[in-house]
Structures are given as C-alpha cells and as structure tokens.
C-alpha cells in the first residue's frame, strides 16, 4: 500500500484503517456536506473504487452498508433488507458505480432521503435504489453540462471584453496618429 498515489496517501494518513474511514465518513456527514451540492458533485473526494485500493477488497462495500441501512431506516421501512439483498446491492453499487466519489454518493443518499428520486413502499426493494442512482447520474450529467456551458459563456465573455479593450486601444492609437498628421 506504500505505492499509493499522493491523493490516496492523504486519505490513508487521515484515516489509517478502513474502520477509521467508515466511522468518520458516515451517513450523518451527509447533513454537513450536502448543503453545497456543487462541491459534492465537482469536489475531489476519493472515488468509491479508491477505498478498495487504499484499504483492500471489500472496503467499498463495507462503507456502503451503513449508507444503505441509514436510507432504509430513514424511510421507515417495515421490512428492512435481508443480508443477501444488502450484500448484493452494495456489491452491484461498488461495481457499477465505482467511479462515483464518496461525496457524490453521500449526496445521492441525501437526495434519496429527501424524496428527490423513487421511493420504497413499506418494504425494501433494491431496484428502487439502483434506479434512483441512474436518475442521480442523469442529474449529475445535467449539472456537468450546465457547469461546462456556464464556464464557456464566462470565457467567451472575458474574451469579448478583452477584444473590446484591445479594439479601444487600437482606435485610440489611430486617433493619435491622425492628430499627429499635418
């Protein structure tokens, strides 16, 4: 594990063991970080797959369990997921959505609990979470598109302002040249 990239080494120094990470980056953190969705979506928290790289296979799944259980408890399910459903769901998420960051996943669970996506009907249905994650990915892609569009517009506006300044300087120069002629 000493050959970790610097960003992952930073995580390892902050949270030396998987249990340290899982206990610190828990569902209650959602309430703190999700007040700034842009930071969650575009920040530089570690990717889910990085947990397995830093701490070993199965860490991503172990981190996801409390997130899923917390969402189920919050929704007041009468029938919670059994071990098989929970294990399979977190394995699917860890595999299919390994590219998502920890902050993005916590934002997803926060939005899920705030009824932004699909919901359970008294009992656990893993497809509700999986389909909701697909909707989250769509929202994330929309946010990326809007951010890129905004950044392009801002760049275009800066370039236009620079052009106007350069044009003004050129016109001033030409006026000075015209005044200097007999």
DSSP string, 96-143: HTTTSBHHHHHHHHHHHHTTSS---BSB--HHHHHHHHHHHHHHHHHH
CA dist., res. 45 & res. 178, Å (int): 60
Q: Across residues 14-40, what is the average pLDDT? A: 94
> What is the spatial distance between Cα 55 and Cα 12, in angstroms, rounded to a whole number?
8
d(CA 173, CA 157): 24
Determine, yes or no, domain membership for 1. Answer: no
Is the predicted pLDDT of residue 31 greater than 80, yes or no? yes
Residue 130 counted as domain residue: yes
- The reply to whether 62 falls in a domain is yes
Give the pLDDT confidence score for residue 102 in this predicted structure.
97
Q: Indicate if the pLDDT at residue 2 is higher than 70.
A: no
pLDDT surpassing 70 at residue 181? no
**Rounded to 5 degrees, what angle do the CA atoms 27, 28, 33 make?**
95
Residue 13 has pLDDT above 70, yes or no: yes
- Nearest Cα neighbor of 92 from 57, 61, 56 is 61
Residue 139 lies in a domain: yes
Of residues 129, 136, 131, 71, the one with CA closest to residue 104: 136
Residue 51 lies in a domain: yes
**157 lies in some domain:** yes
Give the domain extent around 12.
6-180
> How far is the C-alpha of 117 from the C-alpha of 136, rounded, in Å?
8
- Kindly state whether residue 83 falls inside one of the protein's structural domains: yes
Which of 95, 96, 82 lies closest to 126, judged by CA? 82
* Rounded-to-integer distance, Cα 67 and Cα 72, Å: 9
- For residues 40-65, give the mean pLDDT: 96
Tally of domains in the chain: 1
């Amino acid at each position: 594990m000493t050959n970790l990239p610097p960003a992952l080494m930073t995580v390892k120094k902050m949270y030396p063991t998987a249990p340290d990470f899982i206990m610190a980056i828990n569902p209650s953190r959602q309430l703190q970080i999700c007040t700034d969705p842009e930071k969650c979506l575009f920040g530089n928290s570690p990717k889910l797959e990085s947990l397995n790289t830093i701490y070993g296979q199965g860490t991503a799944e172990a981190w996801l369990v409390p997130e899923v259980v917390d969402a189920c408890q919050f929704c007041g399910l009468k029938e919670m997921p059994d071990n098989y459903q929970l294990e399979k769901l977190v394995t699917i998420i860890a595999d299919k959505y390994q590219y998502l960051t920890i902050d993005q996943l916590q934002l997803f669970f926060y939005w899920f609990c705030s009824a932004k996506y699909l919901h359970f009907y008294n009992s656990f249905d893993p497809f509700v979470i999986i389909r909701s994650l697909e909707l989250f990915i769509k929202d994330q892609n929309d946010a990326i598109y809007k951010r890129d569009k905004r950044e392009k517009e801002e760049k275009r506006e800066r370039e236009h302002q620079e052009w106007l300044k350069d044009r003004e300087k050129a016109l001033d120069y030409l006026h000075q040249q015209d005044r200097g002629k007999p």
